[in-house]
């Protein structure tokens, strides 16, 4: 599967909003995604096919040295080809140099996503009871801590 990892730009927003609607019961709208383009704390990356199609995307918020992964999703037809691996790896490599930890919430029944995060060194750090609606479900908080490499050695 041929694709490049690129920063999100305006051209990706409609396709990402569509994928959000396909994957999540509380999807980010085009307006929310467009706002993220201008948010200096937000970083969205896209797995872009040669024809410009969005195969997957992921979004990160950084506050000081804390990273929070908001979104990650891959087109159903492009799943199980390592796209999410590549996207998450970008944020983990950033975290190794710049962050104390990366954290996120995931539905407790979302086994593919939990397996993905475990593979990338995230561990269960707690639960938020009935955090999600439509359907109501607990969130599992998963966190990966980084032993930061001093910048002069990085």
Of 16 and 73, CB closest to ligand COA: 73
Give the nearest distance from C-beta 31 to ligand COA in angstroms: 21
The CB-side HSE value for 106 (13 A sphere, CA atoms) comes to 22
Neighbours of 19 (CB within 10 A): 22
Give the nearest distance from C-beta 151 to ligand COA in angstroms: 30
Give the nearest distance from C-beta 66 to ligand COA in angstroms: 18
Q: In which order are the strands placed within the sheet that holds 3-7?
A: 3-7, 42-49, 54-63, 66-74, 101-107, 137-145, 123-132
Active site residue 117: yes
Catalytic residue among 3, 48, 75, 117: 117
Of 131 and 148, CB closest to ligand COA: 131
Which residues here bind ligand COA, judged by CB under 6 A? 23, 56, 72-74, 79-85, 106, 110-113, 115-116, 119
Query: Which of helix, strand or coil describes residue 84?
Result: helix
Active site residue 105: yes
Of 40 and 76, CB closest to ligand COA: 76
Give the nearest distance from C-beta 45 to ligand COA in angstroms: 13
Burial class (CB in 10 A: 0-12, 13-18, 19+), 55: buried
What DSSP element (H or E) covers 36?
A: helix 30-37
Identify the CA nearest to 30 among candidates 11, 17, 20. Answer: 17
Of 13 and 106, CB closest to ligand COA: 106
Phi and psi torsions of 3, nearest 5°: -160, 165
Residues annotated catalytic, as ranges: 105, 117
């Amino acid at each position: 599967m041929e694709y490049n990892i690129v920063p999100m730009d305006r051209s990706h927003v409609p396709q990402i909003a569509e994928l959000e609607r396909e994957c999540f019961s509380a999807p980010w709208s085009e307006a929310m995604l467009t706002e993220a383009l201008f948010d200096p704390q937000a970083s969205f990356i896209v797995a872009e096919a040669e024809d410009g199609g969005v195969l997957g995307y992921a979004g990160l918020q950084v506050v000081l040295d804390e990273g929070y992964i908001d979104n990650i999703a891959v087109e159903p037809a492009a799943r199980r080809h390592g796209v999410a691996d590549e996207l998450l790896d970008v944020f983990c490599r950033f975290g190794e140099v710049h962050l104390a930890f990366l954290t996120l919430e995931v539905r407790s029944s979302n086994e593919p996503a939990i397996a993905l995060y475990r593979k990338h060194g995230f561990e269960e750090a707690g639960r938020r009871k009935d955090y999600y609606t439509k359907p109501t479900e607990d969130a599992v908080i998963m966190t990966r801590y980084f032993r930061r490499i001093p910048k002069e050695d990085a």
